[in-house]
Amino acid sequence: MKPLTIRGKKLGEGIPKLCIPITGRDEPDILEAAGRITGLPHDVIEWRADHFRNVAKPEEVRKILAQLRQVLPGSLILFTFRTMQEGGKGDLSAEDYLALNEMVLRSGMADLLDLELYTGTDPAMPEDPLSSSPLLPLLSLARQKGTYVILSSHDFEKTPPEAELLSRLSLMESMGCGIAKLAVMPRTKKDVLALLSATLRASESLSCPIITMSMGPLGVISRAAGEFFGSCLTFGTAGQASAPGQLDAEKLAGILRLLHT
């Protein structure tokens, strides 16, 4: 894995970067959360725009992005619209999802953009995205704009076999992502080991940085152990969690420091 430096923050080396999600519904909730985060340890904020009431209005979305930048000038901004199929609140057609993300990319107001690997593809043909994904034009626009794309895949029900986890991460790299991300739900402790093992192998064989997590209480170790298994970023909360198993950001920062070798 080659580290990636974005506005002075090096992802993929040393202590994993800490990302705090913001899930407010309205401008005041979002700004209140951003204000709280100013006093907390973090590197990245993730704006989960699928929670935002006015996400269909491009000028409202740009306004929030500008305000986040103003309140948190030293934080990297990750824009995420998480669809319901992947565990979020978002309910847009694939066409509208692509248009929203294209608008954010063209605005240049986010440092990182999360795009779901299987957008607009047939779930029965999961290997298809490489040749026909509607994300390919966005990935090339992102390269022109200097915005980093996190290609992501989530499974809130189970942990697929280790080989499948690895092949998904390498598919993301083949499509040209900046960072490859997987979040899966463990049913057993062995599932957590499968995720950690896939993470280690991917971090040794791929050149892009990766982000992985095993969700829920069983997987909590994966959120603290990124430095050892090769995950470059971990999500911690300040208030409302955006996924099961996330730890409080301040406590997580302490654990990451304590474990740092």
Ligand X SMILES: O=C1C[C@@](O)(C(=O)O)C[C@@H](O)[C@@H]1O
Binding characters for ligand X, 85-124, by CB under 6 A (x = yes): -----------------------------x----------
Distances, alpha carbon 254 to alpha carbons 8, 96, 243, in Å? 22, 40, 20
Does residue 154 carry a catalytic annotation? yes
For ligand X, which is the closer residue by CB, 114 or 191? 114
User: Is 242 known as a binding-site position?
Assistant: yes
CB of 187 vs ligand X, minimal distance in Å: 16
Binding to ligand X by residue 246, rule CB under 6 A?
Answer: yes
DSSP H stretches of helix in the chain: 27-37, 58-71, 94-107, 129-132, 136-145, 162-174, 189-205, 220-224, 226-229, 249-259
Binding to ligand X by residue 179, rule CB under 6 A?
Answer: no
User: With contact defined as beta carbons under 8 Å apart, do 246 and 214 qualify?
Assistant: no
Stretch that binds ligand X, among 101-109, 137-145, 171-179, 235-243 (CB under 6 A): 235-243
Stretch that binds ligand X, among 10-18, 52-60, 162-170, 240-248 (CB under 6 A): 240-248
Does residue 57 carry a catalytic annotation? no
With tokens 């909360």, the residue in question is: 237
Burial class (CB in 10 A: 0-12, 13-18, 19+), 241: middle
Q: Angle 189-205/162-174 helices, nearest 10 degrees?
A: 30
Binding site for ligand X (CB under 6 A): 21, 46, 48, 80, 82, 114, 152, 154, 181, 183, 213, 215, 235, 242-243, 246
